[in-house]
């Protein structure tokens, strides 16, 4: 197709990069001047040309990807000198196509030649994007922190995101554009939605519009190719004859591909992470031409539908998704191992499709052997799979093989113009009738537009009513949530009251026993620990003169024993023996301690008593024994002190005697001299 507007470019200089720009519009050339990259992008976006022509895309340097992303939908970037590795000079191409050249070093002359060559269909289109687009639907702004109103706003935004995702999904389905969708649910709505649409940007133009700002954002991102592709601007390359194959595909983050021929032989197994749809096309095309594209799940994913539609192949979908054990059994029967689950799923899909059509293919083989067309079995099978009956397919292949016969040129005869004149008059009357009908239909359209306007106003009123109803529902939802919170608090309060009631009953029982005087109530601790001590003080209190009963005192130390002494307890009774450090502290402070067996403690649940007479007698005996032991210990300590004094005194007297003797000896020696 000849472009209406073409822009030719050539680089003038670097730092900053500057371009000479020439436009071609219906055969008229116009020099546009010198542009920086930024101004060039703005100019191209405003003019929206059909072609931007340049002699080599390498002149764009590091800005090439940026420039390609900025091109409007429908605008092609063309390298007129040919694909990389096969490039020719602008001058030789111009001479070949009858274009006069002048100064080859003038950038504007180079830009002009690029535009003129592109207008004649010379060059290769630069392909930077796959026929695949990512559409992301997210919230437009942060929710921030807040209370009830902030929660309502967040839920509202998530509902809006959900509605926008549903709207785009409905549009794509009505337009029959294949896609895959991933969503993230939140607050009975959606926090985000991501579509992988298997179509080019041009196919989506007018179908989905990007939205920025506001509560919901829609971003459209074409999937870039890993390497640039180059397609001829005009004409088609001859396609070599390729074998027919059955392809199984497992889509996802990692794409699995398997190919088998029409005899069931496995030709290829491949899996690759983040493999774009264009790369899948190229991989399959290098193996052969798919006549069946298969999947192992039902319904078929949009990715697989896109591949099948692009190759004009039959789509095989199992009646129900294949089970894992079924796939493994299929691989065992084939006697083949795969690298991962994606290759396994793809191979299972392809081979399941082959098994489905295998009886038909075997009948085709038998008929072809009878007809002597076994050499063309692959072509006939492909036509049968495409929908031809066997006779039509065999005839089509046979005719294709038959040499073309020269047709004899018919003799010229005189032409009778009368039928053509009558036909022209009929068409003129038909046109007149259609014009009147067109006028009447315009009036009908005008009336219909008025009706549509009234209905749109009614819909707006209905939307407002729905919005108010939604607000009422959200307020009701908030109240229900508040009621739930209050009910939970009420249950917790009832549990506290019940626990305090039990504690009160226990205190009353202990007071009754204490008042009667026949027995002493014991305050029961499960363990001798700080937490249990705090609990007993909090629930029933702990005062001087209380008797404590500890079920398991193991692990207690001196610190808690000193705390009991400071509290002034009367005695400590334990079910098991006390640790040594605790005994030492209580013995030193003359706080009696016993075991439950010694005093015959009566205990039921959290309540324990001991006979007052037994307790008082045991305390008296123990304190008497301790006093006797203390007196004996004091006497021993006194005798030990007297003995130590005697020994020290003897040492002192002996030392003085020795000193006096030494002094007398010194005096005796002095007198003698």
pLDDT for 209 beyond 60: yes
Q: Same domain, yes or no, for 292 and 395?
A: yes
Summarize pLDDT for 82-106 with one digit per residue, the tens: 888 888 888 888 888 888 887 777 8
pLDDT at 215 over 50: yes
Same domain, 66 and 184: no
Does 172 share its domain with 310?
no
User: How many other C-beta atoms lie within 10 A of the C-beta of residue 386?
Assistant: 14
Joined together, the tokens standing for residue 275 give 């493999």
Last residue of a domain, one of 356, 379, 401: 401
pLDDT at 442: 81
Average pLDDT, the chain: 82
Looking at the structure, do residues 572 and 639 belong to the same domain, yes or no? yes
| Structure confidence by residue, pLDDT tens digits, 353-403 | 999 888 888 888 888 777 766 677 777 888 888 777 777 777 766 655 544
Considering the domain architecture, whether residues 580 and 521 belong to the same structural domain is answered as yes
User: Is the predicted pLDDT of residue 673 greater than 70, yes or no?
Assistant: no
What's the pLDDT score for residue 78? 92
Domain assignment of residue 457, yes or no? no
Task: Give the position of tokens 């396609």.
Answer: 239
Higher pLDDT, 232 or 611: 611
What DSSP letter does each residue of 346-414 carry, written as one string? HHHHHHHHHHHHHHHHHHHHHHHHHHT-GGGHHHHHHHHHHT--HHHHHHHHHHHHSPPPPPPPPPP--
pLDDT tens for each residue of 651-660: 888 888 888 8
Taking the CA atoms of residue 597, residue 599, residue 604 and residue 609 in that order, the dihedral angle to the nearest 10 degrees is -170
Is 216 domain-assigned?
yes
Tell me, yes or no, whether 494 lies in a domain.
Answer: no
Q: Which two tokens stand for residue 600?
A: 């015959």
**Domain range for 378:** 246-275+286-401
325, part of any domain: yes
Q: Between 42 and 279, where is the model more confident?
A: 42
Is the previous residue joined to 489 through a cis bond, with omega within 30 degrees of 0? no
- 235 pLDDT above the threshold of 60: no
Q: Do 49 and 174 sit in the same domain of this protein?
A: no
Tokens of 461: 């009123």
Distant-in-sequence, close-in-space partners of 200: CB < 8 Å, separation ≥ 6: 129, 131, 133, 222
Number of H helices and E strands in the chain, helices first, is 18, 20
pLDDT bin (cut points 50, 70, 90) of residue 507 is low
Asked if 255 and 391 sit in the same domain, the reply is yes
Counting the structural domains of the chain, the total is: 4
Q: What is the pLDDT of residues 508-538, one digit of tens each?
A: 666 665 556 567 888 888 898 898 888 888 8
Mean pLDDT over residues 218-228, rounded?
82
- Say if residues 288 and 379 touch (Cβ distance below 8 Å): no
pLDDT of residue 79: 92
Q: Has residue 451 been placed in a domain?
A: no
pLDDT of residue 342: 92
Beta bridge partners, 53, equal 8, 78
pLDDT 10s digits, 102-121: 777 788 999 999 999 988 88
Predicted local confidence at residue 391, as pLDDT = 72
pLDDT-based confidence at residue 573 (cuts at 50, 70, 90): very high
Distance CA 354, CA 248 (A): 10
Report the pLDDT value the prediction gives residue 220, as an integer from 0 to 100: 86
Predicted confidence (pLDDT) at residue 250 exceeds the cutoff of 70? yes
CA 521 and chain centroid, separation: 65
Query: Sign of the C-alpha dihedral, residues 527, 529, 535, 540?
Result: positive
CB-CB contact of 126 with 57 (8 Å): yes
Cα separation, 253 vs 340, in Å, equals 13
616/572 Cα distance (integer angstroms): 13
pLDDT of residue 74: 73
Sign of CA dihedral 135, 141, 145, 149: negative
Determine, yes or no, domain membership for 459. no
Which of these three, 98, 122, 146, is where a domain ends?
Answer: 122
Burial of 668 (0-12, 13-18, 19+ CB in 10 A): exposed
CA–CA separation, 584 vs 593, rounded Å?
11
- Judged against a pLDDT cut of 50, whether residue 122 lies above it is answered with yes
Q: Residue 439, SS3?
A: helix
Measured CA to CA, the distance from residue 245 to residue 357 in angstroms comes to 13
Q: Which pairs with CB-CB distance under 8 Å and at least 24 residues apart come from 61-64? A: 61/17, 63/17, 63/37
CB burial readout 2-16, b (16+ within 10 A) else e:
ebebbbbbbbbeeee
Same domain, 9 and 46: yes
**Strand ranges, E, within 532-605:** 547-552, 571-574, 593-595, 602-604
In a domain, 281, yes or no: no
The per-residue DSSP string of 147-207 comes to SHHHHHHHHHHHHHHHHHHHHHHHHHHHTT--EEEEEEEETTEEEEEEEEE-S-HHHHTTT
With a cut of 50, say whether residue 3 has pLDDT above it.
no
Question: With left for phi above 0 and alpha for psi between -120 and 50, is residue 244 left, alpha or beta?
Answer: beta
Which CATH number fits the domain that encloses residue 264? 3.30.420
Task: Quote the pLDDT of residue 247.
Answer: 94
216 & 259 share domain: no
- Listed residues 122, 153, 188: the one ending a domain: 122
Is 165 found in the same domain as 144?
yes
Residue 170 shares a structural domain with residue 316: no
pLDDT of the residue at 506: 64
Nearest to 11 by CA among 58, 43, 44: 58
Whether residue 562 sits in one domain with residue 528: yes
pLDDT digits (tens, 9 = 90+) for 395-427: 766 655 544 333 334 444 444 566 666 677 777
pLDDT band at 143 (very low <50, low <70, confident <90, very high): low
Return the closest-CA partner of residue 186 out of 210, 165, 217, 211.
165
Q: Is 655 inside any structural domain?
A: yes
- Residue 147 has a pLDDT of 46
Alpha-carbon distance of 328 to 348, in angstroms, equals: 9
Residue for token pair 């295998």: 358
């Amino acid at each position: 197709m000849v472009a209406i507007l073409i822009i030719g470019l050539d680089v003038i200089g670097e730092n900053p990069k500057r371009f000479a720009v020439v436009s071609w519009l219906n055969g008229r050339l116009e020099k546009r001047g010198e542009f920086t990259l930024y101004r060039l992008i703005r100019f191209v976006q405003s003019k929206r040309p059909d072609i931007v022509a340049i002699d080599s895309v390498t002149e764009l340097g590091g800005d090439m990807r940026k420039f390609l992303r900025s091109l409007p939908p429908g605008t092609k970037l063309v390298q007129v000198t040919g694909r990389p590795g096969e490039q020719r000079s602008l001058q030789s191409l111009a001479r070949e196509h009858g274009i006069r050249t002048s100064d080859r070093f003038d950038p504007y002359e180079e830009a002009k030649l690029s535009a003129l060559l592109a207008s004649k269909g010379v060059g290769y289109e630069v392909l930077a994007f796959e026929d695949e687009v990512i559409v992301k639907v997210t919230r437009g702004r942060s929710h921030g922190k807040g209370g009830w109103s902030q929660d309502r706003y967040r839920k509202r935004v998530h509902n809006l995101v959900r509605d926008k995702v549903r709207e785009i999904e409905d549009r794509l389905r009505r337009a029959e554009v294949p896609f895959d969708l991933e969503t993230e649910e939140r607050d009975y709505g959606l926090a985000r939605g991501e579509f992988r649409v298997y179509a080019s940007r041009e196919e989506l133009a007018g179908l989905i519009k990007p939205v920025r700002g506001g509560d919901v954002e829609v971003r459209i991102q074409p999937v870039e190719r890993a390497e640039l592709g180059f397609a001829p601007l005009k004409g088609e390359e001859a396609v070599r004859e390729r074998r027919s194959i059955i392809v199984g595909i497992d889509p996802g983050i990692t794409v699995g591909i398997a190919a088998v021929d029409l005899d069931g032989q496995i030709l290829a197994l491949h899996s690759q992470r983040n493999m774009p749809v264009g790369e899948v096309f190229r991989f399959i095309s290098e193996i052969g031409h798919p006549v069946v594209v298969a999947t192992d799940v039902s319904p078929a994913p949009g990715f697989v539908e896109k591949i099948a539609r692009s190759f004009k192949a039959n789509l095989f979908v199992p009646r129900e998704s294949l089970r894992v054990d079924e796939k493994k059994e299929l691989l065992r029967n084939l006697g083949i191992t795969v690298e991962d689950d994606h290759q396994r799923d793809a191979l299972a899909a392809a081979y399941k499709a082959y098994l489905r059509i295998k009886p038909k293919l075997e009948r085709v083989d038998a008929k072809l052997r009878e007809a002597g067309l076994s050499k063309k079995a692959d072509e006939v099978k492909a036509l049968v799979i495409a929908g031809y009956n066997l006779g039509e397919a065999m005839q089509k292949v046979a005719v294709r093989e038959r040499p073309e016969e020269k047709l004899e040129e018919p003799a010229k005869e005189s032409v009778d113009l009368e039928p053509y004149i009558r036909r022209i008059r009929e068409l003129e009357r038909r046109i007149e009738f259609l014009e009147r009908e067109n006028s009447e239909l315009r009036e009908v359209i005008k009336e219909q537009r008025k009706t549509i306007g009234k209905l749109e106003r009614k819909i707006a009123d209905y939307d407002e009513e729905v919005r108010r109803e939604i607000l009422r529902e959200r307020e009701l939802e908030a109240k229900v949530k508040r009621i739930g919170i209050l009910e939970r608090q009420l249950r917790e309060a009832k549990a506290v009251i019940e626990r305090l009631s039990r504690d009160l009953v226990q205190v009353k029982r202990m007071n009754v026993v204490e008042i009667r005087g026949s027995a002493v109530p014991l305050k029961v601790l499960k363990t001798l620990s700080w937490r249990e001590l705090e609990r007993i003080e909090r629930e029933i209190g702990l005062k001087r003169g209380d008797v404590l009963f500890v079920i398991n005192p193991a692990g207690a130390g001196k610190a808690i024993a000193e705390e009991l002494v400071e509290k002034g307890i009367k005695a400590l009774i334990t079910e098991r023996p006390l640790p040594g450090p605790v005994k030492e502290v209580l013995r030193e402070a003359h706080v009696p301690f016993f075991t439950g067996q010694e005093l015959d403690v009566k205990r039921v649940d959290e309540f324990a008593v001991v006979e007052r007479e037994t307790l008082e007698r045991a305390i008296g005996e123990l304190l008497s024994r301790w006093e006797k032991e203390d007196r004996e210990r004091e006497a021993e300590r006194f005798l030990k002190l007297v003995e130590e004094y005697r020994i020290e005194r003897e040492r002192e007297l002996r030392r003085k005697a020795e000193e006096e003797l030494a002094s007398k000896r010194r005096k005796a020696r002095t007198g003698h001299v």
